[in-house]
Each structure stands twice: as C-alpha cells, then as structure tokens.
Amino acid sequence: MGSEPRLIEVRKNVLKQNDVIARALREQFRAAEVFVVSLVSGPGTGKTMFLEKTLSVLSQSHRVAALVGDLATENDAVRLARSGAPVKQITTGTLCHLEAAMIQNALAGWDLNHLDFLFIENVGNLVCPSSYDLGENLRVVLISVTEGEDKPLKYPTIFNSADVAVVAKMDLAPAAEFDWHSAYCNIQAVRPGMQVLKLSAKTGDGMQEYLNFLTARREELHTAAAL
Amino acid sequence: MGSEPRLIEVRKNVLKQNDVIARALREQFRAAEVFVVSLVSGPGTGKTMFLEKTLSVLSQSHRVAALVGDLATENDAVRLARSGAPVKQITTGTLCHLEAAMIQNALAGWDLNHLDFLFIENVGNLVCPSSYDLGENLRVVLISVTEGEDKPLKYPTIFNSADVAVVAKMDLAPAAEFDWHSAYCNIQAVRPGMQVLKLSAKTGDGMQEYLNFLTARREELHTAAAL
C-alpha cells in the first residue's frame, strides 16, 4: 500500500520519542529506589485478580502502588483500591497499549520515594504493548491455562520483550486439559532460558513463590546499584 | 506528543485506503454470492477450534473455505485443513490485525463462485481489528467464559463494530464461576439489542443454533439481493 512507508516512518518517530521518555522514567525510578513491574497479557487472562492478590499480600511488608490501563471504565482501579494501595486508572480511549508519556502523566503528584514497588497493568493485548518501553525494571507476560499451549509460538514478540512468564489460572488446568510440558516447551522455543512461574491467584497456589521472586529481583537491583 | 497529529493523519489515510479495498471486496463477494463471516476475539478465546467445528459440520451441506490470520506460524491453517475445506494462512509479522489488502492478496487464485461461505479468522486482539473493514457480511465477536464478564465494558469498540456476539467455552462455565446474566447485560449496555449466542465447540452444545443462524443470515442476504 502506498502510504505504508510513511506510516512506518512516523511510527518509528513515535517509538523513538517513547524511548526517550521511558529512559527518563527509568532514571527517576532508580533514583527513588522503586522497583517497577509491568504486566502484559491478552484480555481476560486474569491480570487484575493477580495484581489484586499481589497488592494485598505485598502491602503487608512493602509500600506498593499501581497504575492500570484500559480502553474504557475505571473498574480495575476500583477493584485494586480495595487492597488499600494507591491506584490510578489510565483510560486509553481506542489506543491498544500504554505509552511512557501516559505513565509520566499518571505519576504526577505521586512521591516515588515513598514506594518500594510500582505495578503497571497494561491494556489486555498480546501484540501492541511489546513495542513500548514503559521504563519498567521487569516485564511479566501472563498466559492462562484456558488460552491454549500455543500462544508463545503465535505471539513471539511479546515473549521476547518480557523478562519472565507466568502461567495463570492453574486451578482450571484439569478442566481445560492444559498440557504444562507443551506450554513450557513453546515458551522455551521462543525464548530459550526464560523463567516460567505457574500459579493460581484464586487459590493462592504459587503466589508466594512469585512474590519471593519479585522481592529477590528488587534486592538484586539495589545491590547492583550500590556497588 | 509532537508527532501525534501526523500519526493520526497517516492512520486516517491507511483506514481510508482500507475502506476502498473493503468495498471492492464486498462487491466481489456479492457478485459471487458468497457469504463472508469474520471472527474477532482476544488470544486464546477459542476461535480456531470454533472454526474447525464450523467448517467440518457446514462442509457437509455447503461449500466452505477459510482465511486465518496470525503473527507467526501456519499451525491454524494446518488444523483447519483437517476439515477438508480450502484454507490459507495469512502471517502478519508484527502487525496486530488483518487488513482488506491482505484478504485481497490471499484470495488471488481462488474462484469465489465455487463458495457458499468464506470464514476469516482475525489475529487474536480485542482492540485493533475493530478499525479495519474486511468486506465481510457478518462480524462475529467471541468472548470465552474464562475471560470474565466485564470484557464488553472494557473493549466497547470491537462490540460496536461486530454484528453478533458469541460466548464460547460454555463447558468451562461452572469451573470459571461464569455469570451469564452479568455478561449478557454488559453486552447489552455497550450495544443494546445485540444478539448473543452461547456455545461450546468442545461439547458441540449450541453449535447447531449458530450454524442455523449463519445459514439464515446468508438466505436473508440473497433474498434481499434478488428483490
């Protein structure tokens, strides 16, 4: 199509500008010693319930907050606020992903020095968020057992842009006839060596291992920064 | 951001060009008397299994074919070809949706006059495909019972661009504690009067009602065209 090269050029500029803002955010997060975790997945994988459980457990020992992206509604912010943690909703309208500038705007008025962890829940989309750096320290890609074992093969870019994979809704594994070995191998085929955690936010199985993983990664970053 | 107005302008041109091609496709479909159904949903909602069942049952009484979109892999085309129907895979690379030009290219060499139904399975994405007309006669939006009842409220644009909603994986409804009434009301809140079908491609429950619906809609179109 005639207009494609122009579209690609403009998109490159948008991504470049996003990277500049993301770099500034990362520097700001480092200075405040806040560990920033972003969550990406398709719609309905269970990001919000997972984050709800994360905030309620982690807030007992750490200072936590969350930003949550959706095209429409403030529902997720309302759900997450029940944990007692500060939460802000970012509504994107028709935009299919969060961008660094939205994070920057949403953080205005928050003192990051008062936080240990900041969580960012992206719009439910396994494609577009992969291109946008949000300045996070850790990007977590979630798939659920009901989505089929082939998702890593079909959406390789998002697995390549993420740092760790979480297989969610493990409580539904028998009903969905989920094949763990096949899903694990497909993740490794796309991203060899990727760490994969499995859990159920509903039953709590695997949640503590995930939280231990997060706190360990935060410690590692601080130790490295102090050297 | 400085480059946004330019991006929006270029995107408008791309959409305009897409509409021109979609209109040509629709005319071509009408002339060949083929009824074209597109499927949109998030990743892992079960579009492919649903389409697999659709093709194998419908091919007993009608001439059917399918185009199937994914970022990567030919897996879906291989699965769908088991039905005996002609199937072509469209791999989009990093693109998050199908466009009319891709449909046009994929159809080269196929004689549409030999078809009663053509199915188009879009890339798994509840956001981006909503903007791209593919020349289809009917757009079906799928959600599955494991994704939560709130998806229509969070992704209103795709429900507004679709003609009918299908709630899939009903066999998992008890395990997922799915609330049908709530999901139905959320669809109606976004798109009052929208027809909603529920089914399980796995058990076959509701499939015949869906196929009856499709054949009735095809008849309606032909009757209207003959007037």
Given a cut of 80, is residue B188 above it in pLDDT?
Answer: yes
Number of domains chain B is built from? 1
Distance from CA of A15 to the nearest CA of B (A): 10
Going by C-beta distance under 8 Å and a sequence separation of 6 or more, which residues neighbour residue B110? B65, B86
Cross-strand pairs, A140: A39, A164
A197 found inside a domain: yes
What pLDDT is stored for residue A5 in this prediction?
A: 67
Q: For A108-135, write each residue's pLDDT tens digit.
A: 999 999 999 999 999 999 999 999 999 9
Distance from CA of A42 to the nearest CA of B (A): 6
Question: Pick from B124, B156, B172: which is nearest to A146 by CB?
Answer: B172
Cross-strand pairs, B91: B70
Is the Cβ of B127 closer than 8 Å to some Cβ of chain A? Answer: yes
Going by C-beta distance under 8 Å and a sequence separation of 6 or more, which residues neighbour residue A26? A135, A136, A137
Q: Is the dihedral of CA B186, B191, B196, B201 positive or negative?
A: negative
Closest-CA residue of chain B to A143: B44
What pLDDT is stored for residue B57 in this prediction?
A: 96
Question: In the block, which residue shows the tokens 């009917």?
Answer: B138
User: Which tokens belong to B58?
Assistant: 């419908």
What pLDDT is stored for residue A12 in this prediction?
A: 83
Mean per-residue pLDDT of chain A: 94
Given a cut of 60, is residue A3 above it in pLDDT?
Answer: no
Which of B19, B48, B91, B125 is the best residue to mutate to test the A interface, defined by the most A CB atoms within 10 Å of its own CB?
Answer: B125
Q: How confident is the model at residue B73 (pLDDT cuts 50, 70, 90)?
A: very high
Mean per-residue pLDDT of chain B: 94
Q: Are B126 and B139 in contact (CB under 8 A)?
A: no
Is the Cβ of B216 closer than 8 Å to some Cβ of chain A? Answer: no
A90 found inside a domain: yes
Question: d(Cα A33, Cα A28) in Å, to the nearest integer?
Answer: 9
A26 found inside a domain: no
Closest-CA residue of chain A to B102: A1
Q: Are A166 and A198 in contact (CB under 8 A)?
A: yes
ipTM of the complex: 0.90
Q: How confident is the model at residue A15 (pLDDT cuts 50, 70, 90)?
A: confident
- Report A:67-126 residues touching B (Cβ under 8 A): 70-73, 75, 94, 96, 101, 123-126
Least confident of A8-12, A46-50, A216-220, B196-200: A8-12
Given a cut of 90, is residue A1 above it in pLDDT?
Answer: no
Question: d(Cα B170, Cα A124) in Å, to the nearest integer?
Answer: 22
If we measure between CA atoms, which residue out of B167, B215, B180 comes closest to residue B61?
Answer: B215
Q: Encode A68-100: b = buried (16+ Cβ within 10 Å), e = exposed.
A: bbbbbeeebbebbbebebbbbbbbbeebbbbbb
Q: Are A146 and B44 in contact (CB under 8 A)?
A: yes
If we measure between CA atoms, which residue out of B85, B96, B82, B101 comes closest to residue B40?
Answer: B96
Question: Pick from B44, B72, B143: which is nearest to A148 by CB?
Answer: B44
CATH number of domain containing A191 = 3.40.50.300
Q: For B30-64, write each residue's pLDDT tens digit.
A: 999 999 999 999 999 999 999 999 999 999 999 99
Given a cut of 50, is residue A227 above it in pLDDT?
Answer: yes
Which residues of chain A neighbour B172 with C-beta distances below 8 Å? 146, 172, 175-176
Given a cut of 70, is residue B140 above it in pLDDT?
Answer: yes
Half-sphere exposure (CA, 13 Å, Cβ side) for B93? 3
Average pLDDT over residues A160-173: 98
A144 found inside a domain: yes
Which residues of chain B neighbour A156 with C-beta distances below 8 Å? 71-72
Quick one: what percent of chain A has pLDDT higher than 70? 97
Is the Cβ of A189 closer than 8 Å to some Cβ of chain B? Answer: no
CA B5-B8-B10 angle, 5° bins: 110
Task: Tell me the count of A-B CB pairs closer than 8 A.
Answer: 144
A76 found inside a domain: yes
Is the Cβ of B2 closer than 8 Å to some Cβ of chain A? Answer: yes
B23 found inside a domain: no
Given a cut of 90, is residue A7 above it in pLDDT?
Answer: no
Distance from CA of B91 to the nearest CA of A (A): 10
What pLDDT is stored for residue A10 in this prediction?
A: 76
If we measure between CA atoms, which residue out of B173, B104, B113 comes closest to residue B134?
Answer: B104
Question: For the whole model, what pTM was predicted?
Answer: 0.93
* B43/A71 touch (CB, cutoff 8 Å), yes or no: no
Helix A207-226 to helix A47-58 angle, to the nearest 10 degrees?
Answer: 70
Question: Pick from A72, A96, A169: which is nearest to B154 by CB?
Answer: A72
Question: d(Cα A118, Cα A103) in Å, to the nearest integer?
Answer: 11
Going by C-beta distance under 8 Å and a sequence separation of 6 or more, which residues neighbour residue B28? B112, B135
Is the Cβ of A160 closer than 8 Å to some Cβ of chain B? Answer: no
Q: Are B128 and A128 in contact (CB under 8 A)?
A: yes
What pLDDT is stored for residue B1 in this prediction?
A: 43
Distance from CA of B214 to the nearest CA of A (A): 26
Q: For A41-100, write each residue's pLDDT tens digit.
A: 999 999 999 999 999 999 999 999 999 999 999 999 999 999 999 999 999 999 999 999
Least confident of A126-135, A178-187, A189-198, B11-20: B11-20
* A96/B17 touch (CB, cutoff 8 Å), yes or no: no
Domain residues for the domain of B65 are 3-17+32-226
Quick one: what percent of chain A has pLDDT higher than 90? 89
A77 found inside a domain: yes
* B7/A2 touch (CB, cutoff 8 Å), yes or no: no
Is the Cβ of A219 closer than 8 Å to some Cβ of chain B? Answer: no
What pLDDT is stored for residue B2 in this prediction?
A: 46
- Report A:24-63 residues touching B (Cβ under 8 A): 42-46
Question: d(Cα A98, Cα A131) in Å, to the nearest integer?
Answer: 10
Cross-strand pairs, B69: B90
Q: How confident is the model at residue B80 (pLDDT cuts 50, 70, 90)?
A: very high
Is the Cβ of A3 closer than 8 Å to some Cβ of chain B? Answer: yes
Given a cut of 50, is residue A216 above it in pLDDT?
Answer: yes
| 3-class SS of residue B82 | coil
What pLDDT is stored for residue A226 in this prediction?
A: 78
B26 found inside a domain: no
